């Protein structure tokens, strides 16, 4: 089923304890599109400047990402973000955020994107996210959304109005606690689900991800990895794998959402193994299936009660 992705397409400069990069391809919309491209043919809505290399657009297109909705503002500059990770690789400082073209982003939905079944709203201003929803003539069947602390601090009312319109909210544990003002993630989930979404995914970085609906909860671990070079975009990649998997088989039961969490986690585990988007390019279906199998092996408890006592 058709999938539309909205999010930043950016230049990132990243520094981790393992090395640093100059301006490379990044942005939440890029990570989501590349990850979801292994399951669906995503259509991206975003904006870049005249400095954005044609080769990056070609790369997206090679991954079957429809770029008709990627605006190019020839006289302006592409969004730029620079981050430096601490030694634990879990925390980072944002050193530079140059909004550039994103400052006055007016999302335009090409006619060929109308009628989409799945919409993934990457982390952007909640006002822009809501504009996108409103500009669909027919509401997509599933609207999933990511956000961050910045919007909770700076536009809380706008954020709540947008969250109310979505079906799935995908945020990390710190964000869930801030949004709900609850420490317990179970209590946080109850409060957040009362805001409108039917499903909530709470990402816990190297500690996995939780999926909630009003009645059930599911947990998937993160794969213990030997090499972690760069966590940038892991959350977006998770979201891309998650929504891509749902769009592929268009089943939105809780059972299928559980599988989507595992696929999202598998895609995120690839993302961190190299800098930026590098590892997300040209993966094979076999590699993805093998990674998913590793997840399944990791959490198999095939014991009978008598084996344990
Ligand atoms: P994550 O590591 O999942 O938080 O995502 C990192 C990506 O988000 C980077 O590729 C950045 O280009 C992008 N990003 C960082 N800050 C923003 C922002 N304020 N708006 C949109 N995208 C952003």
Q: Which of 38-52, 225-239, 247-261 has the highest mean pLDDT?
A: 38-52
Atom of ligand 1 nearest to the CA of 11: 12
Instruction: Compute the distance between CA of residue 301 and CA of residue 304 in angstroms, rounded to an integer.
Output: 9
User: Other C-beta atoms within 10 Å of 233: how many?
Assistant: 28
User: In testing the pocket of ligand 1, which one of 25, 27, 83 has its CB within 8 Å of the most ligand atoms?
Assistant: 27
Q: Residue ranges per domain, the chain? A: 3-300
* pLDDT for res 4: 98
pLDDT at 45 over 80: yes
Q: Which residue has the least CA distance to atom 18 on ligand 1? A: 124
- As a whole number, mean pLDDT of residues 81-88 equals 92
- As a whole number, mean pLDDT of residues 84-102 equals 91
Identify the CA nearest to 67 among candidates 75, 56, 77.
Answer: 56
Higher pLDDT pick, 163 / 18? 163
Which residues line ligand 1 at a C-beta cut-off of 6 Å?
8, 10, 12, 26-28, 81, 97, 123-124, 232-236
pLDDT tens figures, 110-144: 999 999 999 999 999 999 999 999 999 999 999 99
- As a whole number, mean pLDDT of residues 206-213 equals 95
* pLDDT for res 253: 93
pLDDT at 188 over 90: yes
User: Other C-beta atoms within 10 Å of 193: how many?
Assistant: 17
* pLDDT for res 227: 85
Instruction: Copy the structure tokens of residue 63.
Output: 């991954």
Q: Is the pTM of this model over 0.85?
A: yes
- As a whole number, mean pLDDT of residues 225-253 equals 94
Residue recorded with tokens 């939440």:
28
Q: Which residue has the least CA distance to atom 12 on ligand 1? A: 27
Architecture of the structural domain at 3-300: 3-Layer(aba) Sandwich (3.40)
Instruction: Compute the distance between CA of residue 62 and CA of residue 69 in angstroms, rounded to an integer.
Output: 16
pLDDT tens figures, 164-175: 999 999 999 999
In the DSSP assignment, the letter for residue 167 is: S
Instruction: Copy the structure tokens of residue 177.
Output: 């606690």
pLDDT at 31 over 80: yes
CA distances from 278 to 83, 95, 272 (A): 17, 22, 9
Instruction: Compute the distance between CA of residue 155 and CA of residue 130 in angstroms, rounded to an integer.
Output: 13
Instruction: Copy the structure tokens of residue 1.
Output: 């089923």
Q: How far is the CA of 8 from the centre of ligand 1 (A)?
A: 7
Atom of ligand 1 nearest to the CA of 10: 12
Averaged pLDDT score across all residues of the chain: 95
Quote the percentage of the chain above a pLDDT of 70: 100
pLDDT tens figures, 295-309: 989 888 777 777 777
Q: How far is the CA of 289 from the centre of ligand 1 (A)?
A: 28
* pLDDT for res 89: 83
Instruction: Compute the distance between CA of residue 18 and CA of residue 212 in angstroms, rounded to an integer.
Output: 35
- As a whole number, mean pLDDT of residues 231-258 equals 95
- Cβ–Cβ under 8 Å, residues 167 and 143: yes
Q: How far is the CA of 170 from the centre of ligand 1 (A)?
A: 14
- Cβ–Cβ under 8 Å, residues 274 and 18: no
Q: How do 92-98 and 24-26 pair as beta strands? A: unpaired
66: confidence class by pLDDT, cuts 50, 70, 90 = very high
* pLDDT for res 206: 87
Atom of ligand 1 nearest to the CA of 81: 12
* pLDDT for res 95: 94
């Amino acid at each position: 089923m058709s999938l539309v992705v909205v999010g930043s397409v950016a230049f990132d400069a990243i520094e981790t304890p393992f090395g640093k990069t100059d301006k490379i391809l990044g942005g939440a919309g890029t990570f989501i599109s590349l990850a979801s491209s292994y399951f669906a043919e995503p259509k991206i809505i975003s904006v870049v400047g005249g400095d954005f290399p044609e080769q990056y657009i070609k790369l997206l297109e090679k991954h079957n990402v429809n770029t008709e909705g990627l605006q190019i503002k020839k006289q302006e500059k592409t969004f730029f973000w620079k981050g430096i990770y601490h030694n634990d690789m879990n925390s980072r400082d944002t050193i530079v955020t140059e909004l550039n073209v994103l400052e006055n982003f007016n999302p335009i939905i090409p006619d060929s994107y109308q009628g989409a079944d799945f919409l993934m709203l990457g982390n952007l201003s909640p006002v822009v996210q809501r504009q996108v929803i409103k500009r669909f003539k027919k509401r997509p069947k599933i609207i999933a959304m990511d956000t961050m602390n910045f919007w909770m601090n700076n536009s809380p009312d706008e954020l709540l109005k947008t969250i109310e319109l979505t079906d799935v909210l995908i945020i990390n544990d710190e964000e869930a606690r801030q949004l709900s003002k609850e420490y317990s993630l179970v209590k946080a989930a109850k409060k957040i689900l009362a805001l409108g979404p039917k499903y909530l995914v709470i990402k816990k970085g190297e500690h996995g991800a939780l999926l909630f609906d009003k009645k059930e909860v599911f947990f998937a671990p993160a794969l213990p990895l030997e090499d972690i070079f760069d966590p940038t975009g892991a959350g977006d990649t998770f979201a891309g794998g998650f929504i891509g998997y749902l769009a592929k088989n268009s089943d939105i039961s809780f059972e299928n959402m559980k599988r989507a969490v595992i696929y999202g986690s598998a895609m995120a585990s690839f993302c961190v193994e190299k800098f930026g988007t590098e590892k997300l390019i040209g993966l094979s279906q076999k590699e993805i299936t093998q990674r998913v199998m590793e997840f399944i092996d990791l959490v198999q408890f095939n014991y009978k009660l008598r084996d344990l006592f």
